[in-house]
Amino acid sequence: MRTRLLIVFFLMSTFLNSEENFGIVVHGGAGVMSGLSEETRSQINAKIKESVSEAFLILENGGSSIDAVEKAVTILEDSPLFNAGRGSVYSSDEVQEMDASIMDGKKRLAGAVASVSIVKNPIKLARKVAEETDHVLLVGDGAEAFAKNAGIEIVDSSYFYHEERLQRVRNLKKNVSKFYKKSDKIGTVGAVALDKMGNISAATSTGGMTNKLPGRVGDSPIIGSGTWAQNGVCGVSSTGHGEYFIKYQVAREVCIRMEYLNQSLSKSSSSIINELADIGGSGGLIAIDSKGNISTPFNTKGMIRGSQTNKKELSSEIY
């Protein structure tokens, strides 16, 4: 009788605990972060906190993780402080080409867009691709035509204009003989969330890398590289030198090591980021597991990040 009672108590506490845990973690890119003035740092921290707390409110009210990550990323895309949506970096022909992806770990629903230049919020378009087409990834003109039909807000490309980032690509072009040998990798944005129903979602949005070749697509819209969400295991959003994150399938790899090697989220995610550093792949990632644990490893000097869970207060950090 006593054993039975203990078992019932154990099962109830596991159920209640897993049902109650929820949280959100966001990033605003990994990189050197050395030239940031105090004013810019405080603007970044304020925007990250706004993004986290708006998404947290959705989760607290019983909303879904996919709504939470879409909201968090939209707020960051609307800010010129980050390399996503407004304020995206420029390619070598001085065009802003944006990539984004979103994934819901409940049914592995995934959508992505690449090389779009007139879509105000690429993350919203990625979600439409996931929910309203039979496809996962749409690119360029086709993605923009779909956006118009799907009622997604279209803007003139001048909406994304950012003087300092334009000067940066012009300077880089003067100084380097090969494209993207020396590039700026700061400012991609992403979010991962666990909701009260145990669903995990992830989202990533970027302008890519400064001075990239026209048409270059990085890891951010590649499911399994820049974004991954898998209920019961983990959710990940990556940032950094995208070519490495594609070749090492970083986002998915975090969950694979947890699933098959029984590693903790922290061990799995930090070992991958350390391994990337050894081969020259700079960057970081944010991740959440099915219990609401968070991990934010990076091998660069800084990574803009913030989080809040039912157990952990709102925070924002850069270094």
Which CB, 77 or 195, lies closer to ligand ASP?
A: 77
Shortest spacing between CB 66 and ligand ASP, in angstroms: 21
Provide the mask over 53-82, with x wherever binding to ligand ASP is found by CB under 6 A and - wherever it is not. Answer: ------------------------------
* CA–CA dist 271, 8 (Å, integer): 37
* CA–CA dist 48, 63 (Å, integer): 20
Strands (E), 195-313: 200-206, 227-230, 234-240, 283-289, 294-295, 302-309
Which CB, 238 or 270, lies closer to ligand ASP?
A: 238
Which CB, 292 or 306, lies closer to ligand ASP?
A: 306
Query: Binders of ligand ASP among 19-58, rule CB under 6 A?
Result: 29
Shortest spacing between CB 261 and ligand ASP, in angstroms: 25
Q: Is 188 in the site for ligand ASP (CB under 6 A)?
A: yes
Alpha-carbon distance values, 286 to 17, 81, 317 (Å): 23, 19, 13
Asked if 3 is an active-site residue, the reply is: no
Please count the other Cβ atoms lying within 10 Å of the Cβ belonging to residue 171.
Answer: 12
Residues 245-267 as b or e (16 or more Cβ within 10 Å = b): bbebbbbbbbbbbbeeeeeebee
Which CB, 189 or 200, lies closer to ligand ASP?
A: 189
Which CB, 23 or 240, lies closer to ligand ASP?
A: 240
* CA–CA dist 75, 85 (Å, integer): 10
Shortest spacing between CB 302 and ligand ASP, in angstroms: 12
Q: 197: burial class by Cβ within 10 Å (0-12, 13-18, 19+)?
A: middle
Which CB, 59 or 172, lies closer to ligand ASP?
A: 172
Place of tokens 């003139």: 156
The interface region with ligand ASP, picked from 192-200, 203-211, 252-260, 291-299 by CB under 6 A, is 203-211
For residue 251, give every residue at least 6 positions away whose Cβ sits within 8 Å of its Cβ, in sequence order, or none: 202, 224, 225, 226, 227, 228, 236, 237, 238, 245, 285
Provide the mask over 206-245, with x wherever binding to ligand ASP is found by CB under 6 A and - wherever it is not. Answer: x-xx--------xxx------------------xx-x---
Total chain residues near ligand ASP (CB under 6 A): 12
Shortest spacing between CB 32 and ligand ASP, in angstroms: 11
Provide the residue count of the chain: 319
> Which of the residues 14, 74, 133, 188 is marked catalytic?
188
Extract the tokens encoding 78.
Answer: 């609307």
Shortest spacing between CB 38 and ligand ASP, in angstroms: 23
Q: Calculate the dihedral angle through the C-alpha atoms of 236, 36, 86, 183, rounding to the nearest 10 degrees.
A: -70
Alpha-carbon distance values, 186 to 3, 32, 206, 303 (Å): 56, 8, 10, 9
The interface region with ligand ASP, picked from 73-81, 201-209, 274-282, 292-300 by CB under 6 A, is 201-209
Shortest spacing between CB 189 and ligand ASP, in angstroms: 9
Interface residue list for ligand ASP (CB under 6 A): 29, 185, 188, 206, 208-209, 218-220, 239-240, 242
Catalytic residue IDs: 188
